[in-house]
Structure 1
Amino acid sequence: MRGDVPEVRIVNGRLITVPEVPMIWLPKDGQVIAKIPARKGNRWWLHETVRIRSPRLDDGRWHLPRNCLVRLLNAAIDRYGHVLVSRDMSKLSRCNRRCLEAAGVDCDCSCMGAYHGADSTSWFERVGDVMVADLGETKRTTMLYGARTADGDPKIYSGELSGRHYHVNPAGRRGWPLASQFMCTGCVSVRARVWDHCHTHGFVRAPLCNTCNTRHWSGWQAQHGRATPSSNIDTSYYRWCPLHNQRIDGEAPCSA
């Protein structure tokens, strides 16, 4: 890994990256196929956060409706920091205005996704180079996506989204500032990358860097960029959930 960007490489035709990076495949037709790091509550997360009615797991891969792609990308970046997206397309496709206005990565054109959303306001951006595999009549492009980076120096978060419900769809995020406009409220030492939210109550809490956001995962491994348990991480940002000290149906207040 270079900084907080995971290394991605191709070995014998297979994509290799660290286990914590989800992989999404968008075939020319049919459902989205997602390989999500094994973690308790994945089905609940897909249903409640990504708003997929009936996520189907088959042989370790999730089969999801095609119209969930942008929501899935936003939610996965907030949860994991980065997402690897592979997309199949025709070699005869051509770039057009639809490509430049695309809010996601689901149009089929010759730019291989490099300019998707160039004229739109999106919450994620391509990180690194586009990788291309020749599959005969089609091409498979693979790109790593991360949270969009704001211009200018980051500032201290002052509750700009206090009381707002967390959303992964672009319409629900209309008017939100980018998380990267702020310093991470967990370590207060680097620029934030993603929006953290309370899984119990559903409210936005604060902007975090990728490392602070994944610190609760079991089995910390430094080579994968996870934070080690430390008293230096300030969890007072939990208070930005307006129901921080309340319990719902016997659940612990303000879950991570």
Structure 2
Amino acid sequence: MVWLPLHGQVIAKIPAQKGNRRWLHETVRVRSPQLNGDRWSLPRSCLVQLVTAAVDRYGLIVLWRDMSKLSRCTRACLEATGAECDCSCLGAHHRQDSEGWFERVGDAVVADLGECTRTAVVYGARGSDADAGVYDGELAGQHYRVDRAGRRGWPAAAQFMCAGCMSLRASVWDHCHTHGFVRAPLCNRCNTRYWSGWQAQRGRAVPSPNLDDSYYRWCPKHADARRLCSA
């Protein structure tokens, strides 16, 4: 859950898990993430990268956004080329919005706070109209990135079947947290199966040794890591 106030830093509430600071620093590219209680204070400039990375990590993200009631999508917004936006659309009406890596899921919830309006929008991975194929290492050897420039030329994960179960269309890009390389496209269930941060009754699959993890080989350094573990 992320909150973007009218002024000041982005506030993010991330499920408690070892390695969150490293994820924010290395993946979202926040130089000095600050933890206050159970919430992170992050620079406003990281918003789009944070949404992209969180969608890949959790499948969905809720963005709360405060905006002035005078805020509207202007001609400058409609003709912009970036993803940042000062109005309520989060760049959805821009000519190039975040390179298509996430999209709004469902309707926005709107609350009237007097001089400003607060909206809550759920974002998920953007789908694809293409028939799902089998992943064959199209991004092998590439470092995982969440910025627009870093993902230029990437295919959508939804263009492939999930490399873990091969029964559902993929929705997010999985990556090696140790070495930082893209591994394979996964469905949301497979992407969270090995993660024990939440229990199944809270919406996450329990960790399981029965899932095919051969897609780990798409990390160029995976074989070296296995040799070290077995030594």
Q: TM-score with structure 1 length normalisation? A: 0.82
Task: State the alpha-carbon separation in 1 of the partners of residues 140 and 18 from structure 2.
Answer: 28
1:57 to 1:229, Cα distance in 2 relative to 1, 3 A: closer
Task: State the alpha-carbon separation in 1 of the partners of residues 91 and 149 from structure 2.
Answer: 21
Q: Which of 117, 123, 128 is 2:106 aligned to? A: 128
Q: TM-score with structure 2 length normalisation? A: 0.90
Q: Which of 143, 150, 158 is 1:180 aligned to? A: 158
How many residue pairs get matched?
227
Secondary structure of the corresponding residue to residue 245 of structure 1? helix
1:56 to 1:193, Cα distance in 2 relative to 1, 3 A: same
Percent identical residues: 65
What is the correspondence of 1:216-235 to structure 2 with a 5 Å cutoff? 216-218=194-196, 221-230=199-208, 232-235=210-213
Which amino acid is 2:89 matched to?
A: G
- The alignment's C-alpha RMSD in Å is 2.2
Task: State the alpha-carbon separation in 2 of the partners of residues 72 and 34 from structure 1.
Answer: 9
User: Which residue of 1 is the match for residue 30 of structure 2?
Assistant: 52
Secondary structure of the corresponding residue to residue 25 of structure 1? strand
1:24 to 1:153, Cα distance in 2 relative to 1, 3 A: same
User: Which residue of 2 is the match for residue 75 of structure 1?
Assistant: 53
- Any gaps of 5 or more consecutive residues in structure 1? 1-22
- The Cα offsets for residues 112-131 of structure 1, whole Å up to 9 and x where unpaired, read as 32872453233100000011
- The Cα offsets for residues 165-210 of structure 1, whole Å up to 9 and x where unpaired, read as 1101110000000101100000100010110011111110000011
> Which shifted more, 94-103 or 47-56?
94-103
User: Which residue of 2 is the match for residue 140 of structure 1?
Assistant: 118
Task: State the alpha-carbon separation in 2 of the partners of residues 187 and 220 from structure 1.
Answer: 21
Kept after mapping to 1: 8 A contact 2:157/2:172: yes
- The Cα offsets for residues 66-119 of structure 1, whole Å up to 9 and x where unpaired, read as 101111111111111111001111111221234334654x4233xx32872453
Kept after mapping to 2: 8 A contact 1:102/1:116: no
Following superposition, the deviation at residue 221 of structure 1 comes to: 3.5
Post-superposition, which runs of at least 4 consecutive aligned residues in structure 1 deviate over 6 A?
A: none
Task: State the alpha-carbon separation in 2 of the partners of residues 56 and 147 from structure 1.
Answer: 27
User: Which residue of 1 is the match for residue 10 of structure 2?
Assistant: 32
Kept after mapping to 2: 8 A contact 1:24/1:33: yes
Kept after mapping to 2: 8 A contact 1:162/1:204: yes
Task: State the alpha-carbon separation in 2 of the partners of residues 87 and 102 from structure 1.
Answer: 21
Task: State the alpha-carbon separation in 1 of the partners of residues 175 and 20 from structure 2.
Answer: 16
Task: State the alpha-carbon separation in 1 of the partners of residues 101 and 90 from structure 2.
Answer: 15
User: Which residue of 1 is the match for residue 138 of structure 2?
Assistant: 160
Task: State the alpha-carbon separation in 2 of the partners of residues 164 and 213 from structure 1.
Answer: 19
1:239 paired to 2:213: no
